[in-house]
Amino acid sequence: MLMMAFAAQQGLEMLKVISFLLALLACNNSFAQSNSQHGGTPGSFDFYVLALSWSSGFCETTGDRQGKRQCDTGSNIGFTVHGLWPQFERGFPTDCGFAARSPSQISLQKTIGVFPDIGLARYEWRKHGTCSGLSPGDYFDAVKEARDKVIIPQNFQMPKTEQVWSPAEITRAFTSSNKSLRADMMAVTCKRGILEEVRICFEKDLRSFKTCPEVVRQGCRSGDVNVPSVR
Active-site annotation, residues: 82, 124, 128
Helices (H) and strands (E) counted in the chain, each on its own, are: 8, 8
Strands 36-38 and 92-94: parallel
Nearest-angstrom CA–CA distance, 215 and 90 = 9
Segment (H or E) for 60:
none
Nearest-angstrom CA–CA distance, 189 and 91 = 17
Nearest-angstrom CA–CA distance, 41 and 55 = 32
Residue 51 bridge partners (DSSP): 83, 199
Residues 6+ apart with CB under 8 A from 29: none
What letter represents residue 97's amino acid? G
User: Taking Cα atoms as reference points, which of 75, 203, 80, 159 lies closest to residue 67?
Assistant: 75
Segment (H or E) for 202:
strand 194-203
Is 143 in contact with 112 (CB distance < 8 Å)? Answer: no
